[in-house]
Every structure is written in C-alpha cells, then in structure tokens.
C-alpha cells in the first residue's frame, strides 16, 4: 500500500492520524532511498525477535485516545483498526521487506521498484517503540535535512512519475551519524500486549 498525503483528500482526523503514522512506515511522495537494504553489509534477520513482538498503539494527537494497533509477529507485521478489523496493511519478511539489527536499532527496509526506503525502530526500556524516518513532506524541513545529509553523503535525485527519491549510499558508520545528527523524525508507540 502506497500512501502520499497529497494523494488522499479526506477530512476525517482519525484517518489523518493513521496517514501520518504510515508515513513513518511506508513510502511517501518524497523519500530518501538507498541502492541496497540498510545498513549495507549487515545480514538480514530471518524473523522478528521475540522481544519486539507484541501489540503497539499510538495516541491520536487530535483526540488523545489510542489509535489503530500495530501487531508485530515473528513473520512481520499487520494492523488492526479500533474495531479490531485487520484490513489496514501487513508486511511479511521477504525479498522486498528486510529487517536488520545494528547498534540497538532495527532497520526496516521496504523495496519499491529499484529503490529501498528505510524506517528505523528503537525499542525503549519501557517496551514502547520509536518509529523513525527521514520525513520529507514539509518543503522547508526537506531542504534543511537534505543539506545536512549532503554534508556527509552524496545525494542523487531520481524522479519516477510523481515521486522523487533522494538516493544515498552510506556506510553503516555514516548511516549512524545521520541518526545521531537528528535527521530522522520519530513517533512513539506504546506496547499494550
């Protein structure tokens, strides 16, 4: 499922919260991308570790209530809405969804065409998780983030129809420098089961 905020025109605030959440997980209209699953040279995990498995919920910023649930299982993830319907999305570890672990971060790599997009997960001591991405939806912050990245790594702009990829090819060390520089935005989800 591909989501892009300019492609969806629905006023429902609950749905907007879900779109914002998924922008951290999935592909967007502007994306920092990679030639290979990240971090390069690190072997993918064959299954999701038991410590990360469970049910997670994010608080809806407009209502203060729990939003939809993310269920992480050994084989991947799926989502359920507030009515416990499992229709939102799912991902199974495969050649196009690769999970790696490096320096206390899980690297979730999604393949779209010939590009890899990346989301990071960091598990906190209270078992909540932080989803992290390089958010490029706001034009001003996009330019600031790309400027920060370009100081460390060469960026190649790739246009595909209405989508723009800013492809980089970092070493694992350079990738961790980007994390430490604050280039990644995060959203917290609480573990409920």
Query: Tens of pLDDT along 62-115?
Result: 777 777 788 999 999 998 877 777 766 788 999 999 999 999 999 999 998 999
**Residue given tokens 């040279």 in the structure block:** 41
pLDDT tens digits, one per residue of 129-140: 998 999 888 888
Average pLDDT over residues 168-177: 97
Of 45, 64, 28, 33, nearest to 166 by C-alpha is 33
* pLDDT of 8 above 70: no
Which DSSP string do the residues of 79-141 spell out, in sequence order? EE-TT----S-EEESSSSEEEEEETTEEEEEEEETTEEEEEEEEE-TTS-EEEEE----SHHH
Q: Which domain holds residue 105?
A: 5-191
Average pLDDT over residues 46-61: 89
pTM (two decimals)? 0.80
pLDDT averaged over every residue in the chain: 83
b vs e for 142-176, b when ≥16 Cβ sit within 10 Å of the residue's Cβ?
Answer: beebbeebeeebebeeeeeeebbbbbbebebeebe
Domain count, the chain: 1
pLDDT tens digits, one per residue of 26-35: 445 889 999 9
pLDDT confidence tier of residue 17, bands split at 50, 70 and 90 = very low
pLDDT at 117: 95
CB 56 within 8 A of CB 129: yes
Kindly report whether the peptide bond that precedes residue 157 is cis, defined as omega within 30 degrees of 0. no
Of 8, 32, 4, nearest to 148 by C-alpha is 32
Torsions phi, psi for 163 (to 5 deg): -105, 145
CB 142 within 8 A of CB 136: yes
Average pLDDT over residues 164-185: 95
């Amino acid at each position: 499922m591909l989501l892009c905020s300019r492609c969806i025109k629905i006023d429902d605030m609950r749905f907007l919260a879900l779109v914002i959440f998924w922008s951290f997980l999935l592909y967007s209209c502007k994306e920092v991308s990679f030639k290979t699953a990240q971090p390069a040279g690190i072997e993918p995990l064959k299954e999701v570790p038991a410590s990360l498995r469970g049910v997670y919920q994010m608080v809806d910023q407009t209502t203060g209530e729990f939003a939809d649930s993310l269920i992480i299982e050994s084989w991947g993830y799926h989502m359920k809405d507030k009515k416990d319907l499992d229709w939102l999305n799912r991902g199974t570890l495969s050649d196009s969804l690769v999970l790696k672990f490096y320096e206390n971060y899980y690297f979730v790599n999604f393949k779209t065409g010939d590009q890899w997009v990346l989301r990071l997960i960091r598990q906190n001591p209270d078992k909540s998780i932080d989803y992290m991405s390089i958010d490029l939806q706001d034009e001003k912050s996009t330019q600031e983030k790309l400027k920060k990245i370009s100081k460390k790594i060469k960026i190649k702009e790739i246009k595909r129809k209405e989508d723009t990829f800013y492809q980089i090819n970092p070493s694992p060390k350079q990738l961790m420098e980007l994390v430490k520089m604050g280039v990644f935005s995060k959203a917290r989800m609480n573990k409920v089961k």
